[in-house]
Chain A
Amino acid sequence: MNFSNSPETSAPEDDARIEQLLSDSAQPYIDDAGFSERILSALPPQRRRAERRRTALLLCATLLGCGYVAVFSRSDLIAFLAAMMERLAAWGALPVPGLGAVFTVGVLAFWIMALGASWWAWARTQ
C-alpha cells in the first residue's frame, strides 16, 4: 500500500488507497454469543396484553351502549321525542313530517353500527 510522497502526485489516487485501507480495517464479525437473548429478556412486557385489555374495554362499552339503547327503545321515549319534534314543526320551526319513522330508522341504524363495532372488536382479539 503506497502513498505519494510528492505533493504533485494526484490526491485522488491517495484517497482511493486510504479508502481501501479503511475498508479493509473494518471490524470482523462479532459472534452473537447470547447477546440477542439478553436483549429479548430485557425488553418490556409484550404490548399484546395491553391491546387485549383495550379491546375488551371497547367491547364492554359497546355492549353497554347496546343495552342502554335496548332498554330505552322499549319505553315510549321515541314517541315522546317524536311528539316534541312535531310540536316544534307545528310552531313552524322545522318541517319534520314522519319524524317518528325517521327516528326509529335512526335507532335501528345505531343498533346495527353498535353490533358491527362489537363484532369488529371481538374479531381483533382473534
Chain B
Amino acid sequence: MNHRDTELIARVLVNDDRHAFGELVRQHQSAVRGFLRRLTGGQHAQADDLAQETFIEAYRSLARFQGESSFGAWLFGIAYNRFRTSRRRQRETVEWNGEAGAQGVAAGHEATVSAAPATVDLQQDLAAALARLSADEQSAIHLCYTEGLTHEEAAAVLGCPVGTVKTHVLRAKDKLRTHLRAWAPA
C-alpha cells in the first residue's frame, strides 16, 4: 500500500486528524468519482452523491481497513456497494445493453475523445462495444484495465472469487475483440 496513505490513515485513526482525512479524499476523489460516473452511465450528480456517501462511510469504518488491498481498491469496494444499494433502492435496472446503455457508457467515455477523427470513432466504437458487455464484465474489465487493480483487488471490490473475475475479463476481451474487428486492416 502507498506509504503516504498509510501515514494519513494512521493519523486519522489515532488523532481523528481531519486534515489527514481531507488529504486522503483529495488524493482519491478523482478515481472514485470517475469510477462511479462509469457505473451510473455518466450521471455526474448521482455519481458525486454516491462518492460523498462512499467517503463518509470510509471515514466511519476506517478502523476496519486491514490493509490487505490498497486503500484505493478498498474505496472502490465501498463505492460499488453504494452503487448497488442505490440501484436496489431506486428499483431500476441499468440498461447495460442497447441504446440507453451505449449512450450512458459513451457519456462516461466522452471526456477521453481526442481531436483526431479516427481516434474519436475508435473511442465511440469502444464505448458501444463496452455497452454490450454484461454489468459484471464491464466492472471487471474497467477495474482491471482502466483503474489498474489486480484481479485479487477487483474480486474484493466486486465481492466475488478471483476466478470469476478472470472469467469475466476473458469473456469481456473476447467480446471486445469481436466487436472491434471492424478496425482490422483490410
Contact = CB atoms under 8 A, between A and B. Distances in A.
A35 B147 CA distance: 21
Contact of B180 (A18, A29, A31, A48): A18
Interface centre among B56, B59, B145 (most CB of A within 10 A): B145
Contact of A15 (B16, B37, B173): B173
Contacts of B48: 35
Contact of A28 (B112, B122, B148, B185): B112
Contacts of A24: 112
Contact of A1 (B16, B25, B122): B122
Classify the interface of chain B: helix, strand, loop or mixed: helix
Contacts of A31: 30
Contact of A35 (B21, B51, B56, B184): B51
A48 B142 CA distance: 39
Interface string B121-143: 01100100000000000000110
Interface string B153-186: 0000000000000000000010011001101110
Contact of A22 (B37, B59, B146): B146
Interface stretch (A37-45, A77-85, A92-100): A37-45
| Contact-residue bracket for chain B | 35 or more
Contact of A18 (B37, B56, B109, B176): B176
B38 interface: yes
Contacts of A42: 52, 56
B177 A46 contact: no
20 contacts: A2-B185, A3-B177, A4-B181, A4-B184, A14-B173, A18-B180, A21-B122, A22-B141, A22-B145, A23-B146, A23-B148, A27-B37, A27-B108, A27-B111, A31-B30, A35-B48, A35-B52, A36-B29, A39-B52, A40-B21
Interface of B: 15-16, 18, 21-22, 25-26, 29-30, 33-34, 37-38, 48, 51-52, 55-56, 59-60, 108-109, 111-112, 122-123, 126, 141-142, 145-148, 173, 176-177, 180-181, 183-185
A-B pairs, top 3 by smallest CB distance, nearest first, are: A27-B34, A5-B184, A22-B145
Interface of A: 1-5, 11, 14-15, 18-19, 21-32, 35-40, 42-44, 46-48
Given A36-B26, A36-B29, 5 more contacts: A15-B173, A25-B123, A26-B112, A38-B52, A39-B25
